[in-house]
Structure 1
């Protein structure tokens, strides 16, 4: 799999040397229907050549531009690692191929910009977070994304409660005081009290342990702003939260003991728990939109939204990932026109790209639905 990152997106949306050719298609994992994928790609290449020619590109130049794509069907090692989708971006000085874990629509676009909106869900899943598994017997910090979690070797992180209490060589797990008498030669005898019940001393030690964990974790995460998910039994989680100083500790947590859980099991539990949290930015943007409905600070007119996006006026964009709206921006009149012709610009893609280029947020309507039948809705900066 070729990971598609925000850096890759940034490169594509900033490319302004047309013609920009985007080929997308669903593919099958290795070993299944491979011939279909090869045939489909050959057909897309022919369609791309035709669209280039209709835009005034000479046939020979169109073939040269797409030559490396035409050679792909013969590249058996490349096809041996197929995923669910293939996206290819071609310009005169740029060639990018991405095998991605999502099914892509079969399409060819040729225009002033690349078509990236089908890949945007990959960035919604590009989620960096950390998981702290905490018990009296074990502590670990993990870094996670949309695919897995990996344990971090963190200097200064206590190994467990016992190791923390014995760090100076004194076993503070048992309480010691001296008592007169009972010893030989008139010496005082040491009297040990076990830790039965939740004594004040035991709670104090537990808090000290949690503070040491927090100090190590907070120092490491400082400046990252990454969400931190706590995995612990309820009693220990309560103590840790009372000691926590990291501002991005999530309110949700994984309740239970995760000492013997595999990294993959931990990832599955963490990813499921994070889903509601990951929806919050979309919900907040929808809330801002609903608050301003009926004012000049929101738009649900696709033509007006595309023009506003190009002007950098959009704070947040809600878009329908499945919608097909074609047209162009009339630079002389400074307005957008919908034509319905697929050879023109994909206006949903254009609105998303321009919003991102100007520092705005974009959110798919598949997750939050505004009270409008429009494929686009926007909150304006001004």
Structure 2
């Protein structure tokens, strides 16, 4: 999992790729190997070699001479010898080549199906899941003697250094009133955490001290958590969640938390587990759009007909587009006649209508969702859409 601060493919880079129109734009997608055994067997490199061979054949069909093809594909060939690329993989590798800009490649946390595509534009459909069902959230690691605040998304995880704005532990908040029961611990007697006021104060005093501490933390969180609408996820023992909720003033404290002491957990595990917990929250817009499709199914505001959907996408009329995972529809869009012709297979003169509809929807502010076939609103069609008008 990528825990860097940067998105694996910033939206601006994606948009730049989508704008390119040139002869023989090459798009290649393949999965990579993360396990040492598979890496040693060079399986991913073998897949890339197969892809290069497929692209060579396609370019020959496009009337390029073999010496031109070899020169054109040389940058892709050179990736086979790029040792660090294969030793430090992500889940998938996306490669793009055109005669004007040359080659670009991206390591992406998506385990792609092997795909090659040659046309007057790039095939970007497999990358679109990077921009949906995601969003900003905060993770607060919380215990009596340890606190951390992270800004996170599906692909990023960043320490916000809460300790610069709030006490890092309970002792810092309540001062000399707090004393660890070290002697009891060393003597083997059972103990819980700390004593308060040094005089065996009861549970009410303990709660008051914790609430005082958590209110200080809450003030620090408000100072550096810049998006007040982003959900705040807690990682703490169950008892502390209830107490922190009482002190919290953040507008969107998530109603589920990661249970247990967070102090000795590694950042990549925190990121992974917190995303699993919060992912449902970011999928709510998708579910709302599916419900909207079902409500509008028998009206002209929704459709599962491919030609209607492609036309609507090209005219900026799609609010939400649902695409069956792994499906692709090929054909030709006749701009003069405003007509869509659908073919059974990929041919030298046709294009992916699915890629076309998805990119047009994305570029014009619509939502694009990829669903397993059994979750498609109308399962008989690989594309369903809700229209804006």
- Count matched residues: 360
Deviation for aligned residue 1:229: 0.7
Deviation for aligned residue 1:161: 2.2
- Mapping for residues 289-368 of structure 1, pairs under 5 Å: 289-343=293-347, 344-366=350-372, 368=375
Cα deviations by residue, 1:87-109 (Å, 9 ceiling, x for unpaired): 21111223211244443222221
- Pick from 11, 15, 22 the counterpart of residue 10 of structure 1: 15
Q: How high is the TM-score relative to the length of structure 2? A: 0.80
Partner of 1:250: 254
- Confirm or deny that 1:113 pairs with 2:117: no
- Mapping for residues 217-236 of structure 1, pairs under 5 Å: 217-223=221-227, 225-236=229-240
Partner of 1:181: none
Partner of 1:86: 93
Q: Secondary structure at the match of 2:94?
A: strand
Deviation for aligned residue 1:251: 2.1
Q: Taking structure 1 as reference, are residues 99 and 260 closer, same or farther at Cα in structure 2, changes over 3 Å only?
A: closer
Q: How many angstroms apart in 2 are the aligned matches of 1:159 and 1:37?
A: 46
**Comparing 116-125 and 342-351, the one that deviates more:** 116-125
Contact 1:319-1:376 within 8 A present in 2 as well: yes
Runs of 4+ in 1 over 6 A off after TM superposition: none
Contact 1:325-1:347 within 8 A present in 2 as well: yes
Q: How many angstroms apart in 2 are the aligned matches of 1:138 and 1:83?
A: 32
Contact 2:22-2:98 within 8 A present in 1 as well: yes
Larger radius of gyration: 1
Deviation for aligned residue 1:127: 5.3
CA RMSD of aligned residues (A): 3.1
- Confirm or deny that 1:162 pairs with 2:168: no
Q: Taking structure 1 as reference, are residues 197 and 356 closer, same or farther at Cα in structure 2, changes over 3 Å only?
A: same
Q: Taking structure 1 as reference, are residues 211 and 335 closer, same or farther at Cα in structure 2, changes over 3 Å only?
A: farther
- Mapping for residues 176-255 of structure 1, pairs under 5 Å: 194-199=200-205, 203-223=207-227, 225-255=229-259
- Mapping for residues 268-287 of structure 1, pairs under 5 Å: 268-287=272-291
Q: How high is the TM-score relative to the length of structure 1? A: 0.82
Contact 1:286-1:368 within 8 A present in 2 as well: no
Structure 1 alignment gaps of length 5 or more = 175-190
Q: How many angstroms apart in 1 are the aligned matches of 2:323 and 2:281?
A: 20
Q: How many angstroms apart in 2 are the aligned matches of 1:76 and 1:193?
A: 64
Deviation for aligned residue 1:213: 1.1
Structure 2 alignment gaps of length 5 or more = 180-196
Q: How many angstroms apart in 1 are the aligned matches of 2:376 and 2:235?
A: 33
